[in-house]
Amino acid sequence: MHPNLLEITDLKTHFFTEQGVVPAVDGVSLQVKRGGTLGVLGESGCGKSVTGFSILRLVRPPGRIVGGAIRYYGRETVNGEDLTALDARSEALRQVRGAEIAMIFQEPMTSLDPLFTVGNQIMEAILYHQDVSKAEARKIALEMLDKVRMPQPADVIKQYPHQLSGGMRQRVMIAMALSCEPQLLIADEPTTALDVTTEAQILELMRELQDELGMAIMFITHDLGVIAEMAEEVAVMYLGKVVEQSDIQSLFTDPQHPYTRALMQSIPKVGQKAAGRLEAIRGMVPSPRDIPSGCPFHPRCASFIADLCNVKTPRLQETKPGHAVSCFLYNDGGGINGV
Ligand SMILES: Nc1ncnc2c1ncn2[C@@H]1O[C@H](COP(=O)(O)OP(=O)(O)OP(=O)(O)O)[C@@H](O)[C@H]1O
Ligand SMILES: [Mg+2]
């Protein structure tokens, strides 16, 4: 079996708007190990969600994948195939969505249908992928709600999303995502909207379920504290690109990119929640319609080298085994991808 479950190579997903092209994801390469956890970290707007949507081919016009490959080494339906090459409405992709790769979306309220009961929605997800009767689907739905430690699952199953608290809705989302035992769970800021206590519970629950089911997780967040708790590998994104990639140990003991270092300095104190959107680094994230020349981080960088960083674009390059960074402080800009 291939050691990686997912390999993204030079992915480009752009939005073709009337005001111009937005290169939301612009040359991202990532790997998710079988059963492992990859944390994807970065400020608001850097392309984390669009990367997640691209994997499941959920990018809607005016957005489009314009380059790169997403190889998924799953169970049987799609093995080593490039998901970007599949028809978005094909049976193969339908099998991948939900049954192989499931996603918990950033806004639970927008992804749960207010008009249907919680039970209906979980059952629908199960019936879509598994050849079971309605009664069996109901039983699985109850088991899943129990697994995510929903109090009184038999009552909750009859309720509508608005009747539940944020934490409960997030549990429903997780139950729904896990009901088909996916190989990969893409969790897009699954706890950002929750209070610290609920967040801690949900994170613990996800770790437990991961151990039990052996699934891999791609954990998208702007919160380094959450990354520290959940991830084994980390990709730090800035303006549609991965600027640093490392195992968690090396990232925390030896953060290299000035952007990563700045993020580290903005970790909220224990017990405090990060502001909903991270803006702790001086200056604003530039608009992706107007990406700075050279290294896109240079206008905000504390270590800016004039006539270099604003002129040449550094490439992601290994500085030690398993740790790569795109920054002229460390490399000559050659790049591990050889591009
Ligand atoms: N439909 C769209 N049309 C135009 N641009 C879009 C569209 N959807 C996303 N984008 C752009 O793509 C960029 C990346 O967005 P994305 O949602 O991936 O960011 P993110 O890293 O998930 O941020 P956040 O932390 O706020 O969730 C943003 O700058 C956004 O403006
Ligand atoms: Mg997002």
pLDDT per position as a tens digit, 78-90: 778 899 999 988 8
What's the CATH class of domain 4-89+185-196+216-325? alpha beta
Closest atom of ligand 1 to 52 CA is 18
Cis peptide preceding 62, ω within 30 of 0: yes
24 versus 74: the higher-pLDDT residue is 24
Dist. CA 52–CA 83, nearest whole Å: 12
- pLDDT at 335 exceeding the cut of 60: no
> What pLDDT is attached to residue 339?
37
- Residue 238 Cα to ligand 2 middle (Å): 13
> What pLDDT is attached to residue 331?
73
Dist. CA 239–CA 326, nearest whole Å: 13
- pLDDT at 296 exceeding the cut of 60: yes
Closest residue by Cα to atom 10, ligand 1, is 24
Side-chain-side CA neighbours of 8 within 13 Å: the count stands at 26
> What pLDDT is attached to residue 337?
44
User: What integer is the mean pLDDT of 123-146?
Assistant: 93
Dist. CA 266–CA 48, nearest whole Å: 19
User: What integer is the mean pLDDT of 217-236?
Assistant: 95
> What pLDDT is attached to residue 268?
58
Q: Which among 185, 181, 187, 233 has a CA at the least distance from the CA of 212?
A: 181
Dist. CA 291–CA 278, nearest whole Å: 19
Instruction: Work out the pLDDT band at 47, boundaries 50, 70, 90.
Output: very high
Dist. CA 323–CA 330, nearest whole Å: 12
Pocket test for ligand 1, best of 21, 22, 54, 103 (most atoms within 8 A of CB): 22
- pLDDT at 308 exceeding the cut of 80: yes
Cis peptide preceding 182, ω within 30 of 0: no
- Residue 305 Cα to ligand 2 middle (Å): 31
Instruction: Work out the pLDDT band at 333, boundaries 50, 70, 90.
Output: low
Closest residue by Cα to atom 30, ligand 1, is 45
Dist. CA 162–CA 54, nearest whole Å: 29
For 42, the token pair is 């970065």
User: What integer is the mean pLDDT of 152-159?
Assistant: 95
Residue 171, SS3 per DSSP: helix
With a 6 A CB cut-off, is 23 part of the ligand 1 pocket?
A: no
Instruction: Work out the pLDDT band at 109, boundaries 50, 70, 90.
Output: low
- pLDDT at 70 exceeding the cut of 70: yes
Residue 318, SS3 per DSSP: strand
Q: Compute the Cα dihedral for 288, 292, 296, 299 and give only its sign.
A: negative
Q: Give yes or no for a contact between 73 and 62, defined as CB atoms under 8 angstroms apart.
A: no
With a 6 A CB cut-off, is 287 part of the ligand 1 pocket?
A: no
- pLDDT at 334 exceeding the cut of 60: no
Dist. CA 190–CA 202, nearest whole Å: 8
> What pLDDT is attached to residue 101?
94
DSSP state of 82: E
Residue 182, SS3 per DSSP: coil
Dist. CA 305–CA 295, nearest whole Å: 10
- pLDDT at 58 exceeding the cut of 80: yes
Closest atom of ligand 1 to 222 CA is 25
- Residue 106 Cα to ligand 1 middle (Å): 12
- pLDDT at 169 exceeding the cut of 80: yes
- pLDDT at 2 exceeding the cut of 90: no
With a 6 A CB cut-off, is 63 part of the ligand 1 pocket?
A: yes
Average pLDDT, the chain: 89
Write the pLDDT tens digit of every residue in 179-202: 888 999 999 998 887 888 888 888
Ion ligand 2: residues, CB < 5 A: 49
> What pLDDT is attached to residue 320?
93
- Residue 44 Cα to ligand 2 middle (Å): 7
